[in-house]
Structure 1
């Protein structure tokens, strides 16, 4: 049984897809068409070869080989009598497999989406194919090429390299059209304007007479300025459009009649442009790379701020529920005390009843003040400033005998409830920090307003003595304890001299307390018939 395959042979199944045959024909036609407008110093079929391998998945590479061999067959079969069958076969056999091998070796770099690897692919393909072509020509041609070997290497390497940089970036741009967003109207207009300017410079340079070589060279160098501008503004996309256009204009305006002809003046310009194009592609790749990194960091920071703001809102909602529960407990205690007082008065214990009424009033007021410290319900109806002046915070500050009368300006009711609650918590924490860490009188200032399209609040907690400086421990503690809320609401924290300055602003809507209707707060602690218990 084990030797059946030896006796019966191997059965191979070969599927030929019509789409693959069409791809092979299209590739051969593209190579033939681009060769008609190519020169030794500007060889576009090399670019078609690399671009096709980059565009097509590996399962279609055999069809590219078929198209390559069909293209070489129609071109080189008539050359057998002049150059020999051995050279025709060997020189046509290795070029596409070398490019496929180079692209395969760069597959990890390609998957990393860093486009600087394209320069490595272009250089490797141009050098290897040129060296093998010239070595085969020197060895197998009956009459070796007339030009020196090193001159041929430089000329053909530059031609292949420019051809690859002309078509391969466009192929990559097309292959990644779905992964990257399309430019907007203004960006598209910028690209079209830069390309039109390059065409104007190129056509003008081509119209100059041969004796105006200096002016022609200057205009050709000026063509690089729009490409540089596109690279700096649009990164890799700008370079992938600008560099091929630059190479194409210079190549097509080179005054040479056919493949094999050579123009020394244009070749010097093309060498400069080849180096410039490679530098622009690398620069554009790095610009795009760092732009994406900054965008990811920006998105991450924005998400972190949004989550922090949502966390603060969720915490306030939890405290609101607790305050509501405490209010219900306080109402139950007041109701029970009222029943006891009524019973005592009915039994004739007038003095005991009056004493109990006074005690119940004092403790009920303190209970409500402490409840308002848990959640300042006055913020939802009457605003931040009322919560600071009439709630339990005022009582606590007055007991310290160190807080001067706060200076509160502006209308806090123009701000969202979430921002007012964050400002309330931050201001209380800042005052508490100075009470614990510093000595002397403290002054509190707050101002609400609008700057541009943003509404916000600026708060300052300062020592009255201007000569007294905040200690480093106080500054560090302020940064650790207060920066979270200020950053979550698009603000900042600054500790200077004797003061802590806090700013907060509206940063967009989130699931917050702002959706609460006024009726929803009627039963919250601190509200009875539109009044507050101070």
Structure 2
């Protein structure tokens, strides 16, 4: 078993070395002094591959780099070839190792540190600058015509840094989003994202226009084009975070690098474009990291609010189930009392004549009635057996009739049977609370309840409206039924909530409640959304893991 593991490890090492060498040779024709793509691929591989594959990467680069350098033996001399035969990875590896050890860019499997990535890119570019400057100094010592050494050093820093910022972010995003066996799902998710659509619809046309202006325009336009490109890039970054900065930055670097691919000598204009791109993209990365953190914090807060809402709904429904069970138990108790009292009265009639006129008999009947009323107020029998419309038409109507208040109920729409039980529960309880609130005005003589259900874009909803008619002529009637009015809340099982408390209950279901008061009207309107689909839907996972920012 151990021999098989060793063989597999050697095969993996050989595969990495050969693959990296072929990739190095493939990108060599499009890699220039101003845009050395090798630097970006090199750093991406050193960051993503485990340490045990570093020797394979070094061997692969040594072979491909030596093959490319050997072709320059006749033109640049053996000294330059000997210096350039040293693989550039050898100078970059110590800095990448230090970054991965002391400030790891990937502290966890799906965690990225933007600050560490930028520092690692700067250190790698600096190491590449030293390596390339030494190689060019050999040409200067050989009295070959070349640019000043300071210009060479600046160009050898800016070029690799831009190449790194162009290639590395794509590798980072692949590492964060890659799931084995889910390539199709990943591609579908990327193409359907708002970032992809905004990039295709805004950034790509803007880059195309600005690139055309920078090529065919006059000198003033050529200076403005690299600056104007940051407008759509900044807009995307503010909207989508660091991923937008990575995508837009890479496209901008690739676009403007095409403009200078034909340049064979260092020029001041090239410096200006490179410096502007380097500073601007670095700042956008930093800004994007902060924006991403804010977006993810908002997402966490929204998720926490959803969890609180879900817990409140579950608590509400569990409380309602307990009330229903208690109501059924009280009804059973009332039935048992009725049977027991009937048997006891039959026996007492033989001993005590006219038992119906005695206080004991009246007390027994009163106790039995109170138990029934308590069970009915906790969970009405009509609601339990025939649903919400029956409870609104029968239970509420009976309670208001006993209080001397006219009542009218209108139920329209559809989809009540498909609503979540918690929505039906809060609708009935809210109707009872609103009826109690409206009838607390002595001038309220009539109540009209309107319930309407519907569905919009696949999401079900229900609207409840309670309207009380205020008439000065009804005050006398209210005084006459004052005792029954006071008992209205207990009959309906209401807690006499105020408007703010009712609004909080409605907010649990992403709804809204409005109170409108007129001279002769008092109206409460509530909108509630069904949550059955949301509760069955799995909790969404963030597109990327939380970020440790450049500012901690």
Same fold (TM over 0.5): yes
Compared CA separation, residues 109 and 21, structure 1 to 2 (3 A): closer
Residues 397 and 407 of structure 2 are in contact (CA less than 8 Å); yes or no, is this contact kept in structure 1? no
Report what 1:515 is aligned to. Answer: none
Does residue 261 of structure 2 align to residue 241 of structure 1?
Answer: no
Q: Within 2, Cα distance between the matches of 1:113 and 1:93? A: 25
- Alignment size in residue pairs: 473
Residues 378 and 386 of structure 1 are in contact (CA less than 8 Å); yes or no, is this contact kept in structure 2? yes
Show structure 1 runs of 5+ residues with no match: 1-12, 399-403, 466-476, 513-534
Residues 309 and 485 of structure 1 are in contact (CA less than 8 Å); yes or no, is this contact kept in structure 2? no
Cα deviations by residue, 1:34-76 (Å, 9 ceiling, x for unpaired): 3433333322221111111233222212211222322343344
Compared CA separation, residues 507 and 452, structure 1 to 2 (3 A): closer
Report what 2:32 is aligned to. Answer: 39
SS for the counterpart of 2:266 is: coil
Compared CA separation, residues 165 and 254, structure 1 to 2 (3 A): same
Compared CA separation, residues 315 and 121, structure 1 to 2 (3 A): same
Does residue 295 of structure 2 align to residue 291 of structure 1?
Answer: yes
Using the TM superposition, give the Cα deviation of residue 159 of structure 1 relative to its aligned residue in structure 2, in angstroms.
1.0
Compared CA separation, residues 434 and 290, structure 1 to 2 (3 A): same
Report what 1:21 is aligned to. Answer: 14
Q: Within 2, Cα distance between the matches of 1:121 and 1:406? A: 78
Match of 2:530 among 498, 507, 521: 507
Does residue 448 of structure 2 align to residue 455 of structure 1?
Answer: no
Report what 1:318 is aligned to. Answer: 322
SS for the counterpart of 2:464 is: strand
Compared CA separation, residues 333 and 406, structure 1 to 2 (3 A): same
Show structure 2 runs of 5+ residues with no match: 1-5, 180-184, 473-496, 536-552
Using the TM superposition, give the Cα deviation of residue 168 of structure 1 relative to its aligned residue in structure 2, in angstroms.
0.6
Match of 1:489 among 509, 516, 520: 509
Report what 1:517 is aligned to. Answer: none
Q: Within 2, Cα distance between the matches of 1:309 and 1:495? A: 24
SS for the counterpart of 1:411 is: strand
SS for the counterpart of 2:117 is: helix
Using the TM superposition, give the Cα deviation of residue 18 of structure 1 relative to its aligned residue in structure 2, in angstroms.
2.6
SS for the counterpart of 1:41 is: coil
Residues 460 and 500 of structure 1 are in contact (CA less than 8 Å); yes or no, is this contact kept in structure 2? yes
Q: Within 2, Cα distance between the matches of 1:511 and 1:127? A: 52
- Provide TM-score, normalisation by structure 2: 0.70
Cα deviations by residue, 1:179-226 (Å, 9 ceiling, x for unpaired): 696235374454444464256336634752xx7233344455554455
Residues 215 and 259 of structure 2 are in contact (CA less than 8 Å); yes or no, is this contact kept in structure 1? no
Q: Within 1, Cα distance between the matches of 2:508 and 2:323? A: 19
Cα deviations by residue, 1:421-450 (Å, 9 ceiling, x for unpaired): 324545667898999xxx985968865335
Q: Within 1, Cα distance between the matches of 2:467 and 2:118? A: 57
For the aligned residue pairs, the C-alpha RMSD in angstroms reads 4.5
Report what 1:129 is aligned to. Answer: 128
SS for the counterpart of 1:157 is: helix
Report what 1:379 is aligned to. Answer: 383
Residues 509 and 531 of structure 2 are in contact (CA less than 8 Å); yes or no, is this contact kept in structure 1? no
Residues 195 and 226 of structure 1 are in contact (CA less than 8 Å); yes or no, is this contact kept in structure 2? yes
Q: Within 2, Cα distance between the matches of 1:298 and 1:29? A: 47
Report what 2:279 is aligned to. Answer: 275
Report what 2:91 is aligned to. Answer: 94
Using the TM superposition, give the Cα deviation of residue 165 of structure 1 relative to its aligned residue in structure 2, in angstroms.
0.8
Match of 1:81 among 61, 68, 78: 78
Q: Within 2, Cα distance between the matches of 1:418 and 1:185? A: 34
Please identify, of 268-277 and 192-201, the stretch whose mean Cα deviation from structure 2 is larger. Answer: 192-201
Matches within 5 A, 1:194-213: 194=202, 196-197=204-205, 200-201=208-209, 204-205=212-213, 208=216, 212-213=218-219
Cα deviations by residue, 1:113-157 (Å, 9 ceiling, x for unpaired): 244543222222212431454367659963589544543333222
Cα deviations by residue, 1:261-302 (Å, 9 ceiling, x for unpaired): 234334322322222222333333333333233223222322
Residues 205 and 215 of structure 1 are in contact (CA less than 8 Å); yes or no, is this contact kept in structure 2? yes
Report what 1:159 is aligned to. Answer: 159
Using the TM superposition, give the Cα deviation of residue 420 of structure 1 relative to its aligned residue in structure 2, in angstroms.
4.2
Compared CA separation, residues 238 and 463, structure 1 to 2 (3 A): farther
- Provide TM-score, normalisation by structure 1: 0.72
Does residue 358 of structure 2 align to residue 351 of structure 1?
Answer: no
Q: Within 1, Cα distance between the matches of 2:53 and 2:245? A: 28
Q: Within 2, Cα distance between the matches of 1:297 and 1:493? A: 23
Report what 1:68 is aligned to. Answer: 61
Does residue 141 of structure 2 align to residue 142 of structure 1?
Answer: yes
Q: Within 2, Cα distance between the matches of 1:128 and 1:298? A: 44
Compared CA separation, residues 384 and 323, structure 1 to 2 (3 A): same
Cα deviations by residue, 1:310-348 (Å, 9 ceiling, x for unpaired): 221111112211111111111122123333444566x49
Q: Within 2, Cα distance between the matches of 1:442 and 1:70? A: 96
Q: Within 2, Cα distance between the matches of 1:165 and 1:433? A: 64
SS for the counterpart of 2:451 is: strand
Compared CA separation, residues 464 and 297, structure 1 to 2 (3 A): farther
